[in-house]
DNA sequence: AGAACCACCTGGCAGC
DNA sequence: TGCTGCCAGGTGGTTC
């Protein structure tokens, strides 16, 4: 589930119940995530207050005392606030027990997620090379033009490159390229400036719509039953191979790029 | 330097 | 029903 809108929805759901609280304890049931959960994590966090929860790309940063707790949800992770009587389920790997009694619980079947301690986010390897945020004003056609200059990589892979712009995953890359009418395998450096302007705008628009949907299910998303209960955006092309293009009716095509499925309309996207 | 692959892991589903 | 193979929302690391 977690693309940028889901991560931001998670953040918004956590803030009111977590910011300002102290961490009473940390329970690590399974430390083998993408990287091992630091052994001294509980020692660092116990007793500390969470002063803010921020997001950079798809990384969540809990500001706590002398450093930050970094959480990434990988492909299958979710972070919910649950009450202490909630039974532990399969893949409930990490709990933050708050002084309110609430528990912030990470469930992640595939274990591609991460829970790390970060002293200085500005100089952390996972964060320092990240590109612009899609909702930042700096993300526009000029930014894409600079980053794409001379590059022959297919624009879809370019758009998913977190060093260029953070948080655009496979679904939204497909949707943004469709909305901008750009063929996913076109070399990034060979797209005109006006089309890059449109690509930036459409990328932002697609993410905004998804975020608006996520926001409307916020209560469910971090609710007491923990059911993610999303309510998905209608995708124009993603997952719709063979179905008619919503713009022209031609069958949506699926191809493989860098090991990922790419959905596009061969008639509309050039 | 840039691009193409691989790796990590579990669960769900189609097909037999 | 149960098995096998394939696919899945991410991204760092290795190889060419």
pLDDT of amino acid A224: 32
The distance (Å) linking the CA of A83 with the C1' of B6 is 40
Low-confidence ranges of chain A (pLDDT < 70): 1, 215-233
b (16+ CB within 10 A) / e for A144-157: bbebbeebebbbbb
- Report d(CA A65, CA A261) in Å as an integer: 42
CA A104 to chain centre: 18
Cα A196 from Cα A201, distance rounded (Å): 9
Structure confidence by residue, pLDDT tens digits, A100-152: 999 999 999 999 999 999 999 988 999 999 999 999 999 999 999 999 999 99
Cβ A154 to strand B below 7 Å: yes
Please report the pLDDT score of residue A218 as a whole number: 40
Q: Please, are residues A83 and A224 in contact by the beta-carbon 8 Å criterion?
A: yes
Find residues whose C-beta atom lies within 7 angstroms of strand C: A 1-3, 6, 34, 57-59, 72, 74-75, 110, 112, 125-126, 160, 162, 167, 169-171, 230, 232, 259-261
CA distance A147 to A150: 9
Provide the pLDDT for residue A225. 35
Residue of A121, A181, A260, A266 marked active site: A260
Q: Quick one: which of A226, A215, A223, A224 has its CA closest to A91? A: A226
Q: What is the DSSP letter of A81?
A: E
Name the nucleotide with the smallest C1'–CA separation from A76: C9
Q: Which of residues 250-269 of A touch strand B (CB under 7 A)?
A: 258-259
Q: Are strands A50-56 and A103-107 parallel, antiparallel or unpaired?
A: unpaired
- The answer to whether A14 and A79 are in contact (CB under 8 A) is yes
Active-site position among A3, A6, A8, A202 = A3
- The reported pLDDT for the residue numbered A232 is 54
pLDDT in the model for residue A259: 87
Which helix H or strand E contains A24, and what residues bound it? strand A23-28
Indicate if A133 belongs to the active site.
Answer: no
Does the predicted model carry a pTM greater than 0.85? yes
Secondary structure (3-state) at A27? strand
Q: What's the distance, CA A213 to chain centroid?
A: 15
In angstroms, the CA A113 to CA A78 distance is 9
A251 catalytic residue (yes or no): no
Please, are residues A221 and A214 in contact by the beta-carbon 8 Å criterion?
A: yes
- C-alpha distances in angstroms, A10 versus A41, A55, A264? 22, 10, 29
A213 catalytic residue (yes or no):
no
Determine which helix (DSSP H) or strand (DSSP E) holds A205, and give its type and residue range.
Answer: helix A193-216
Q: Is A175 a catalytic site residue? A: no
- Output the pLDDT for position A233: 63
Q: What is the pLDDT of residue A229?
A: 43
Q: How far apart are CA A104 and CA A102, in angstroms?
A: 7
| All structural domains of chain A | 4-128 (3.20.190.10), 141-264 (1.10.8.50)
């Amino acid at each position: 589930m977690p693309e940028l809108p889901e991560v931001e929805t998670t953040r918004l759901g956590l803030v009111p119940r977590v910011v300002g609280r102290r961490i009473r304890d940390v329970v690590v049931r399974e430390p083998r995530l993408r990287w091992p959960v630091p052994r001294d994590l509980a020692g660092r966090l116990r007793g500390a207050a969470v002063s803010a929860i921020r997001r950079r790309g798809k990384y969540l940063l809990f500001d706590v005392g002398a450093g930050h707790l970094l959480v990434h949800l990988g492909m299958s992770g979710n972070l919910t606030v649950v009450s202490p009587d909630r039974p532990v389920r399969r893949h409930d790997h990490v709990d933050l027990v708050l002084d309110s009694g609430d528990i912030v619980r990470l469930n992640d079947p595939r274990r591609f997620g991460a829970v790390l301690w970060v002293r200085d986010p500005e100089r952390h390897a996972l964060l320092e090379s990240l590109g612009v945020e899609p909702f930042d004003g700096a993300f526009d056609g000029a930014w894409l033009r600079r980053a794409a200059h001379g590059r022959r990589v297919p624009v879809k892979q370019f758009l998913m490159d977190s060093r260029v712009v953070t948080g655009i995953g496979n679904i939204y890359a497909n949707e943004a390229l469709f909305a901008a009418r750009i063929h996913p395998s076109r070399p990034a450096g060979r797209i005109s400036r006006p089309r890059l302007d449109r690509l930036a705008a459409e990328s932002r628009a697609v993410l905004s719509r998804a975020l608006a949907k996520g926001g409307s299910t916020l209560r469910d998303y971090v609710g007491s039953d923990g059911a993610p209960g999303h309510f998905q955006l209608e995708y124009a092309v993603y997952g719709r191979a063979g179905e008619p293009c919503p713009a022209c009716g031609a069958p949506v095509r699926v191809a493989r790029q860098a090991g990922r499925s790419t959905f596009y309309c061969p008639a509309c996207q050039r």
